[in-house]
Amino acid sequence: ADMAREKGRDDLLTHHERATLPARSFPNGAHIAEVVIDPETGIVITDRYTVVDDFGNLINPVLAEGQVHGGVAQGVGQAVQERVVYDEDGQLLTASFMDYALPRATDLPYISFTSEPVPSTANIMGMKGCGEAGTVGALAAISNAVQDALWEHGVRQADMPFTPHRVWEMMNEERIAAE
């Protein structure tokens, strides 16, 4: 860059161009989670997980599938294990991996992923974004599956995170209130 400036060739360094795309592209997909809840402990086990996504044309399908798998792992962790806890003075109590639960590979089921691409008309390559797809879908899928499993126990409102302690309390709320 310095050599080009010395030779008076600023035109080699600066380039301006503007492009307006006709429309935006949005990915579409569906996540389905099947969970089992241990009534004795409140532990939520994700038994089965299925993802069907439309990211348009994929440049690297293996990378996109890995992105979805990682996002699902993050979403499952956020829904079932992760909990940020502060004390009454505002001090973070879950500040280390010793105190903040993250999912391990053994906490996750096989994640079935299928791509059903419909090319986007908003760009010449027919692509759509896939960066947050796993995480966003996982939160809703796990929440709905847990809510469905708790329904038979009379729980009508269940909020994340679905830690064993919280789930057990929700399942046994009437018995606890009677004691």
pLDDT value at residue 150: 95
- How far apart are the C-alpha atoms of 110 and 88, rounded to whole Å? 40
Residue 7 lies in a domain: no
- Per-residue pLDDT, averaged over 66-72, amounts to 95
pLDDT value at residue 114: 96
**CATH code, domain carrying 125:** 3.30.365.10
**Domain, as residue range, for 81:** 28-172
Residue 89 lies in a domain: yes
Residue 12 lies in a domain: no
| Element containing residue 62 per DSSP (H, E) | helix 61-80
Residue 117 lies in a domain: yes
Number of domains in the chain: 1
Tell me which of 134 and 87 has the higher pLDDT. Answer: 87
Residue 22 lies in a domain: no
Residue 21 lies in a domain: no
* Burial per residue of 134-153, b for 16 or more beta-carbon CB atoms within 10 angstroms, e otherwise: bbebbbebbbebbbebbeeb
Tell me which of 68 and 21 has the higher pLDDT. Answer: 68
Residue 149 lies in a domain: yes
- Per-residue pLDDT, averaged over 125-130, amounts to 91
Q: How confident is the model at residue 135 (pLDDT cuts 50, 70, 90)?
A: confident
pLDDT value at residue 1: 58
Residue 88 lies in a domain: yes
pLDDT digits (tens, 9 = 90+) for 9-57: 666 666 677 777 667 888 999 999 999 999 999 999 999 999 999 999 9
Residue type, 11: D
* Residue 165 Rama label (left phi>0; alpha psi -120 to 50; beta): alpha
- How far apart are the C-alpha atoms of 117 and 54, rounded to whole Å? 5
